């Protein structure tokens, strides 16, 4: 199985309609280039002040996912709506939710970001994602005709146990839609993405937001697609746009046959804690 995948890099703002139009433009461009799978970044439809989270949150399914779903069906492609802020059934703290959409199928899978970004980085304002958002608690792998796909979001990248769970459940591609900080990106972004790809022998597709935003921390950009050997096969710079790379599942399986590290794991290490 071979197909073309695309990652969309955006500079989203608090103007939801403008963001959706921008996402649609890049999706159509990726489709015109032959992409069968398009992946959007974290909070692609709204990026604004934390205090405005509740007012900007939507149900899932809801307006943004339905609009993206209609486009996926029109173009006949699989689309990861990177993440949107999902309105909870109760309370004011939204979920940061990634939604996988299919052609003619609507929502295939929904993943609520598990790990929340609560950090104090020197030279930066303290960040408390948990103040306005709540964590999910489910590991999600979606079976599709292209291949099984694992879902994660941004800060999840620092927790390798999640990616091993996704791999154990069959993922051949793992998504990492992000708003990765400019403070940590230069040192951590590429090494972490390549590590997750290498240790799990999967493709990693990581579309990032980019640029400064007056109501949000700066985003690093440099969206990437990494192959199961750890090679960066597509990489953006700091401008909005689309990157494309072929996904070759047969090659992935060959990597696993030739270097069968996943089968060499020693169970007693996990049992001993």
- pTM for the predicted model, two decimal places: 0.95
The stretches of 156-202 forming alpha helices (DSSP H) are: 160-168, 185-200
Length of the chain: 273
Which of 138, 228, 139, 236 lies closest to 178, judged by CA?
236
d(CA 243, CA 238): 12
Is 24 a catalytic site residue? Answer: no
Find the catalytic residue in 22, 86, 147, 154: 154
Report the run of H or E that residue 67 belongs to, with start and end. helix 63-75
CATH code for the structural domain at 2-261: 3.60.110.10
Is 22 a catalytic site residue? Answer: no
Q: How far is CA 182 from the centre of its chain?
A: 17
Place of tokens 């199928």: 105
Which of 151, 156, 210 lies closest to 179, judged by CA?
210
Averaged pLDDT score across all residues of the chain: 94
DSSP assignment letter at 69: H
d(CA 22, CA 32): 16
E-state strands within 113-183? 118-119, 127-128, 133-134, 141-142, 149-151, 173-175
What residues in the chain have per-residue pLDDT under 50? 272-273
Quote the pLDDT of residue 273: 47
Is 42 a catalytic site residue? Answer: yes
Find the catalytic residue in 42, 58, 86, 129: 42
C-beta of residue 37 within 8 angstroms of C-beta of residue 147: no
Encode pLDDT of 108-152 as tens digits: 999 999 999 888 877 666 778 889 999 999 999 999 999 999 999
Find the catalytic residue in 16, 22, 86, 113: 113
Quote the pLDDT of residue 37: 98
């Amino acid at each position: 199985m071979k197909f073309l995948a695309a990652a969309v890099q955006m500079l989203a703002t608090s103007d939801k309609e403008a963001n959706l139009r921008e996402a649609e433009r890049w999706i159509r461009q990726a489709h015109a280039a032959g992409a069968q799978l398009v992946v959007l970044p974290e909070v692609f439809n709204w990026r604004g002040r934390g205090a405005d989270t509740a007012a900007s949150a939507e149900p899932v399914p809801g307006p943004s996912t339905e609009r993206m779903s209609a486009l996926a069906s029109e173009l006949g492609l699989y689309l990861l709506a990177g993440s949107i802020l999902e309105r909870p059934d109760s309370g004011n703290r939204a979920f940061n939710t990634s939604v996988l959409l299919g052609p003619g199928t609507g929502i295939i899978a929904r993943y609520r970001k598990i790990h929340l970004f609560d950090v104090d980085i020197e030279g930066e304002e303290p960040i408390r994602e948990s103040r306005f958002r709540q964590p999910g608690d489910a590991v999600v792998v979606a079976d599709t005709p292209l291949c099984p796909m694992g879902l994660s979001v941004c800060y999840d990248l620092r927790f390798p146990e999640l990616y091993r769970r996704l791999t154990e459940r069959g993922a051949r591609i793992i998504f990492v839609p992000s708003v990765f900080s400019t403070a940590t990106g230069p040192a951590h972004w590429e090494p972490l993405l390549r590590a997750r790809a290498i240790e799990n022998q999967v493709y990693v597709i990581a579309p990032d937001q980019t640029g400064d935003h007056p109501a949000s921390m700066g985003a690093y950009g440099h969206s990437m697609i990494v192959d199961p050997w750890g090679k960066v096969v597509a990489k953006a710079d700091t401008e909005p746009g689309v990157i494309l790379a072929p996904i070759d599942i047969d090659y992935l399986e060959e990597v696993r046959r030739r270097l069968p590290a996943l089968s060499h794991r020693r169970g007693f290490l996990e049992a001993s804690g």
